[in-house]
Chain A
Amino acid sequence: MRLLVLYTTSIICGICMMALEMIGARALFPSFGSSVDTWAAIISVFILSFSVGYVLGGVVADRMRSNAALGWLILGAGILYCLLPIYSLAFCESLGESVHQAAWGPLVGALALFLAPSLLLGGISPVLVKLAFVSADRVGRTTGTLYAVGSIGNFAGILGANYVLLRYVPLNDSILGMGVALCLLGLCHLFLRMEVTAEAGGGASSAAGGEPA
């Protein structure tokens, strides 16, 4: 049951991560165009965000005792997703001509829009590993399965965004919908408590769950 919850969390977050990449790209096009500069900016910013998120998530994982930290991370991402429709297009528009015309312009837009939410979602990976830890001789299988499930979520997110969301749902509604789903998921983790197992070192630390950033 515990693992099922964690896998479900991983898959939902995986979907939202990549669906934002596909859908968010189109929020940059009107201001920055659809050139290869724009795609390079989007892909690199997402990868960078995950990288930073993994490090910070690792720090959080070492200090946490329960799934509350996971809840905060997902809730934070969900809130940012919900707010994106308000400022994504307007922010890109407000950057002005000098940024719009620059080759690095789309990097500014992508960093501003996608760094924070993707960083938070990247951060859940080490946290999930910590929560799923049962014993040292199963750690390989556990982390492997978690990554696999998360990647399946990525896969579903990209295809779902392409074949369903982009076709039938306005961009803002898609992102808002994912934001609502992430907020609900985060709240579930805040309210349904799940302790870190003793073997994972849950009793050793006294720190509260963490909000990075």
Chain B
Amino acid sequence: MKARILAVVVAALAMWAGYRFADSHYRIADPGYPSDQLPLAHRDSAYTSSTWVASPTDNYLQLRFFERVEGGVCLRPSWADLVALKQAGGAPALPHLVPASPEVGRGKLDPLWPVDRPQPDPGTLNSSAYISLFPYGVLLNDMVMAAAGGATAKAAPRILIVGLGSGVGAAQLAHHFPDAAITVVDIDGVVRDMVMDHYPLLRWLTTQVTTRKEPRLDIAIADARRWIRYEAARRKAAGAGFDLIILDAYTAGSTIPPHLMTREFFASCAAGLAPGGLVLANVIGCHGKEVDGAIVGAMHRTLGGAIRSLRAAGLPECISIPVVYRSTDSLGQFRAGANFTRNNIVIAGTSPLDVRRHRQGWERIANFVHFPELAVGAYTTANYLNAGENWNSSSVDAAVIDGAAPGLARQLVADRQTDDASHHMRYSRSSDIGLIEQAQRAVQASTGLRLTGWDRPGKFLIRVDTDCVLLPREVSRLAQIIIKDHDLTDGEALVGPLDPPGGERPRQAATWTIADAPLFTDQMPNADIWNR
């Protein structure tokens, strides 16, 4: 009898403890994040758990999957700001983003919305760097641009995006290509619900149509492998093949689902392309095997495998552009070893894409300005870091320190800006212990919080000023410099000669940059395994 009572007690305790100490959905206190980040909404699905997190001082709204940042959109300019932008004559600067009435797109509030949290209203400006190169997929497409007479505002591409994320990629394309018909395929309906409920601009876009009476944004919930095989093929047969397929599907841990990175899948993408169409893949990887003599993993095989497999799938013309956007991983360092794990934009098609042989396309890119309606200097962030060995403090809004310690900012020394460095971010710093302690006291006095990394003085006090409008322009400017380095961006120079259709090329002495790029096939679908 005693034993049975004990069993009941232990069970009850376990149930209570499980309920009482269950982990929070909102685990966002990782080092390096800004101190003011605010979790807005959270949902779980069979595939992931997703959380919208906003940081007003860092000007972003991010959809994080399993606490990882997968994509972000700027909180400012908001959609309302974009709508309010007027040209000289008083007409809206962005008529394709203006709803018929102010209420349209507001929709009803998500019933799960916490009452104490603000409802965001983000616009189309991206805070994720790699997104900035998505327009290249349209600009490099001769057929689409010729039909539009070279004007991006008149271009009417049909675009497929695999992987929704925060939806910022679709938003950016809708900004620059008002007549684009964008279809997004995502496996997870909960992610679509999160985006539809908390990103009003995107929800509104799904109600709008192009001049061809196609939806400006359509989100399908399906596994991309099946959707592209059947639905994309059906559209191609009906004369509505895709001019651009963007592959941006990731699972937790920056891993590409293996069946979405094989020669066979790429071939089915190629079959869904309209004439002249391109595939643009966001591939997290790197060129080199080693950093400072240490093996960093097999990420170079993921990038090499993507390029080799795309080319083997009937898209032989291929370029790869590493996304470089911070002065700390400037072009000079990239050229020295290219050994950073980062986003690479791989673009593949059937006609030449490199600078030498596709001058026209790269001229269009040179003339293209991201977000031309938005003013430089109007949407900026300024933050302080108390940097230890790994720069691992929370970042603090500059207003906190500048308000309590006027004149401190002027005593910091600005990092030298070189031609190679990106210009949207400016770092200034000091190792003066007096200044560092002054900043610490200001943080403690104003917030009263124990912020990560602010409990003792670091080696440097660093101030980072960022211009959000310049970010995409800088990513593009640096990409246009990198692309001239043929050996680091040309598909053949990177991974070697083409594999014959359906087969593998014979092994030979490898002299190209990524010498051991695997061929991903349905028999060896290992993008997830090499992607570490």
Residues of A within 8 A of B (CB): 26, 29-36, 89, 97, 100-101, 166-167, 170-172
Q: Are A33 and B187 neighbours in the complex by a CB distance under 8 Å?
A: yes
Q: How far is the CB of B524 from chain A (nearest CB, A)?
A: 6
Which residues on B sit within 8 Å (CB–CB) of A26? 258-259, 522, 525
Q: Are B258 and A29 neighbours in the complex by a CB distance under 8 Å?
A: yes
Q: Is B257 an interface residue (CB 8 A)?
A: yes
Tell me, in angstroms, the Cα distance from A36 to B258 when the chains sit together: 14
Which residues on A sit within 8 Å (CB–CB) of B46? 35-36
Which residues on A sit within 8 Å (CB–CB) of B262? 30
Classify the interface of chain A: helix, strand, loop or mixed: helix
Which residue of B223, B230, B524 is within 8 Å of A34 (Cβ)?
B223
Q: Nearest residue in B to A27 (C-beta to C-beta)?
A: B522
Q: Nearest residue in A to B260 (C-beta to C-beta)?
A: A34
| 9 A-B interface contacts by CB (under 8 A) | A29-B525, A30-B265, A33-B187, A33-B224, A35-B223, A36-B46, A100-B226, A167-B526, A170-B523
Q: Are A29 and B523 neighbours in the complex by a CB distance under 8 Å?
A: no
Q: Are B226 and A170 neighbours in the complex by a CB distance under 8 Å?
A: no
Q: Nearest residue in A to B45 (C-beta to C-beta)?
A: A36
Q: Is B67 an interface residue (CB 8 A)?
A: no
Contact with A along B506-532 (1 / 0, CB 8 A): 000000000000000011111001000
Q: Is B225 an interface residue (CB 8 A)?
A: yes
Q: How far is the CB of B257 from chain A (nearest CB, A)?
A: 5
Q: Nearest residue in B to A35 (C-beta to C-beta)?
A: B223
Would A29 and B524 be within 8 Å (CB), given that A36-B47, A97-B230 are in contact?
no
Q: Nearest residue in A to B230 (C-beta to C-beta)?
A: A97
Q: How far is the CB of B451 from chain A (nearest CB, A)?
A: 39
Taking A26-B258, A30-B264, A33-B259 as known contacts, 18 extra A-B pairs with beta carbons closer than 8 A to each other, sorted by chain A number, are A32-B223, A33-B224, A33-B225, A34-B225, A34-B257, A34-B258, A34-B259, A35-B223, A36-B46, A36-B47, A89-B522, A100-B226, A100-B230, A166-B526, A166-B529, A170-B524, A171-B524, A172-B523
Q: Nearest residue in A to B522 (C-beta to C-beta)?
A: A30
Which residue of B187, B259, B526 is within 8 Å of A29 (Cβ)?
B259
Contact with A along B182-194 (1 / 0, CB 8 A): 0000010000000
Q: Which of A29, A36, A166, A171 has the most C-beta atoms of chain B within 10 angstroms of its own C-beta?
A: A29
Q: How far is the CB of A20 from chain B (nearest CB, A)?
A: 16
Q: How far is the CB of B295 from chain A (nearest CB, A)?
A: 16
- Which residues 233-278 in B have Cβ within 8 Å of A in the complex? 257-259, 262, 264-265
Q: Are A29 and B226 neighbours in the complex by a CB distance under 8 Å?
A: no
Which residues on A sit within 8 Å (CB–CB) of B259? 26, 29-30, 33-34
Q: Nearest residue in B to A174 (C-beta to C-beta)?
A: B523
Q: Nearest residue in A to B268 (C-beta to C-beta)?
A: A30
Tell me, in angstroms, the Cα distance from A166 to B226 when the chains sit together: 23
Q: Are A33 and B223 neighbours in the complex by a CB distance under 8 Å?
A: yes
